[in-house]
Amino acid sequence: MNCQEALDLLYDIIDQEVSEIDEAQVRSHLEKCRHCSEIFRLESSIQNFLDAKTANVGSSDNLESLRSKIVSDLDGIDRTEMDCSSKSKLGGTTLFMVSAAALIILVGASFFTSDLVRHYNVYGPLEQAHFAAQLHQPSNSVMEQTLAAVKSSFGFSPGTVVNSFSLIDARMEKILGVDMAHFVYADNGKRVSVFVALSDEFDVPSGLKDHKVVRGNLEYYDHHCRGCRLVYHQSGSAIIITATEDKETELLSFIPGSTII
């Protein structure tokens, strides 16, 4: 069993919705793979935290009240964005988990481990930017400016159609302290974000570098979270990150553009 297969089943194990055979194979993989075992430990810790906090919540109204309290305590996350995101296809459970995890980092990171802090510091801003894109009002002029800037400054040419997805929005954003282009593709309610950054300003997270997946002539670095999946690869001088919360969208075959020679 490889990393991708193990991570696909990871959350079914956490939710106790997997067969004994699959669980045995995944746990055997976790014993050999530090990267996957770290993800399993962190996500299990979050789930255990939520289980403990919600064990005595009697009604759905009380659960929503607790979720709202967690959201209101998040520093630097706009409440309106989170409320709107809770109405998207993500559902309240996933948003509640992401909010709780962020709160843990902000007000009680030592409750878990330093790995948890690193995990959400490295991947969290990209996930948040992906979710927040649903609130953007697309602008054709901004999209055209972004496409031109990426071609001239990043040496990368994004496609307007990728597989069955069409480009619907694009803008420049500062994420993780780096100027990135953020493209949004959509197909029947499914969304994929594509972030483009210069390789001399941004690199693939060190924790992923020993776990590459080779497809054709490209090397991918695949990160699974319960709320979102991120796949990194390099194209010329640009680092490309694709992101989606939709489990049916295969990011390893989502090639959003090409290097300009």
Per-residue pLDDT at 94: 46
Name the least confident of 59-63, 204-208, 216-220, 235-239: 59-63
CB 203 within 8 A of CB 182: no
Per-residue pLDDT at 89: 40
- Tens of pLDDT along 28-73? 888 877 767 777 776 776 666 666 655 655 555 555 555 555 545 4
Q: How far apart are CA 162 and CA 186, in angstroms?
A: 10
Q: How far apart are CA 84 and CA 27, in angstroms?
A: 37
State percent of the chain over pLDDT 70. 67
Report the range out of 6-10, 83-87, 166-170, 225-229 with the highest average pLDDT: 166-170
Q: Which residue do the tokens 């999946």 mark?
A: 229
* Polymer length of the chain: 261
SS3 assignment, position 88: coil
Per-residue pLDDT at 59: 52
Report the range out of 20-24, 88-92, 190-194 with the highest average pLDDT: 190-194
CB 156 within 8 A of CB 238: yes
Per-residue pLDDT at 86: 41
Does pLDDT of 27 surpass 90? no
Q: How far apart are CA 255 and CA 194, in angstroms?
A: 10
Name the least confident of 56-65, 113-122, 159-168, 227-236: 56-65
Instruction: Tell me what the pLDDT averaged over the chain comes to.
Output: 76
What average pLDDT does this structure show over 207-218? 83
- 248, exposed or middle or buried, with CB in 10 Å at 0-12, 13-18, 19+? exposed
12 Cβ contact list (under 8 Å, min separation 6): 18, 22
- Going along the chain from its start, the domains and CATH numbers come out as 3-133 (no CATH), 135-259 (3.40.1000)
Confidence tier at 192 by pLDDT (50, 70, 90): very high
Q: How far apart are CA 150 and CA 102, in angstroms?
A: 31
Tell me the sheet residues that pair with 156.
259
Confidence tier at 150 by pLDDT (50, 70, 90): very high
Does pLDDT of 21 surpass 60? yes
- Tens of pLDDT along 90-129? 444 444 455 555 555 444 444 444 555 666 778 888 988 8
Count of other CB atoms within 10 angstroms of residue 3 = 20
What average pLDDT does this structure show over 147-159? 94
User: If we measure between CA atoms, which residue out of 66, 13, 69, 79 comes closest to residue 40?
Assistant: 13
Pairing of strands 238-244, 161-162: unpaired
Sign of CA dihedral 58, 60, 63, 65: negative
Does pLDDT of 184 surpass 80? yes
Per-residue pLDDT at 4: 66
